[in-house]
Amino acid sequence: MSGSSRDAILSRIRHANGGRPYDPARQAVVDARLAEAPPGVIPARGQLDPEARLALFIDMATRASATVVRVSNYAAVPEAVADWLRQNNFPATLRMGADPRLAPADFGATALDVTTGASSGGDLNALSHAEGGIAETGTLMFVSGPGNPTSLNFLPENHVAVVAAGDVVGDMEALWSTVRSREGKGQMPRSVNFVTGPSRSADIEQTLLLGAHGPRALHIIVVG
């Protein structure tokens, strides 16, 4: 759209709602909203006590074709990963990042062949740590960085996601607040991805196909 066309459209909109270019009062409203980042309408669905919220998250994630297991601490994560791979007859290989939250997880105690770093597309299994979970939809939030390369979320066939029980919140807005408070106002990770279940598509003849744009399987390990 050319500048003159855009200006003409915006001019008609301003005329319709009684506005004028560079209106100080309207600009102040915009500036305040950007500065405060107020939340929108928050559904009541996820506003539950922690255990009920976690139960809703697990239920919704399962409905989205993910599998979920709970472990008491990070030390139990390696065996949980090995168990899931073995139960599904997947190779005992794993590509993962270097998230410091996984430091207590000793993968050397398992028979898994573990490599670290971003995936180039040749890995069958990957593990990453989610920033948090959203109870109302069973969704995971992943933020990019050396600890959790984004390629691990999408390129391997099978994705194992670790999330702390205390990081499962009721709604998306609560997770955005967590990221903002950690990163600082105006600073965000290079990418933020929301994942609900394994990749799927029914674009061709309305036939559901898993793994259309990413992993065929998503296994969630809830810690705590």
Say which DSSP state 41 is in. P
Q: State the Cα angle at 91 between 85 and 94, rounded to 5°.
A: 75
Per the CB < 8 A criterion, the answer to whether 170 and 53 are in contact is: yes
Surface-to-core class of residue 100, CB atoms within 10 Å of its CB (0-12 exposed, 13-18 middle, 19+ buried): exposed
Phi, psi of 77 (to 5 degrees): -65, -45
209 has pLDDT over 60: no
Q: In the prediction, which pLDDT does 219 show?
A: 98
What is the model's pTM? 0.81
Percent of the chain having pLDDT more than 90?
61
Per the CB < 8 A criterion, the answer to whether 13 and 100 are in contact is: no
Q: 14-49 pLDDT, tens per residue?
A: 788 777 777 888 888 888 888 877 777 888 888 999
What is the Cα–Cα distance from 167 to 185, expressed in whole angstroms? 20
126 has pLDDT over 90: yes
What is the Cα–Cα distance from 3 to 165, expressed in whole angstroms? 50
Tokens of 38: 């107020």
Q: State the Cα angle at 180 between 175 and 181, rounded to 5°.
A: 100
78 has pLDDT over 80: yes
Percent of the chain having pLDDT more than 70?
91
Per the CB < 8 A criterion, the answer to whether 67 and 219 are in contact is: yes
Q: In the prediction, which pLDDT does 211 show?
A: 47
Least confident among 57-71, 172-186, 196-210: 196-210
Helices (H) and strands (E) in the chain, counts: 6, 12
Q: How many CB atoms lie within 10 A of CB 127?
A: 27
Confidence of residue 201 (pLDDT cuts 50, 70, 90): low
200 has pLDDT over 70: no
> What mean pLDDT is reported for the chain?
88
Which fold does the domain 44-223 belong to in CATH?
Rossmann fold (3.40.50)
Q: In the prediction, which pLDDT does 33 show?
A: 84
Surface-to-core class of residue 187, CB atoms within 10 Å of its CB (0-12 exposed, 13-18 middle, 19+ buried): exposed
93 has pLDDT over 80: yes
Show Cβ contacts of residue 38 under 8 Å, excluding neighbours closer than 6 positions. Answer: none
Alpha-carbon distances of 21 from 24, 26, 162, rounded to whole Å: 9, 9, 50
Show Cβ contacts of residue 26 under 8 Å, excluding neighbours closer than 6 positions. Answer: 19
> Where are the chain's structural domains?
3-36, 44-223
Confidence of residue 194 (pLDDT cuts 50, 70, 90): very high
Q: In the prediction, which pLDDT does 101 show?
A: 95
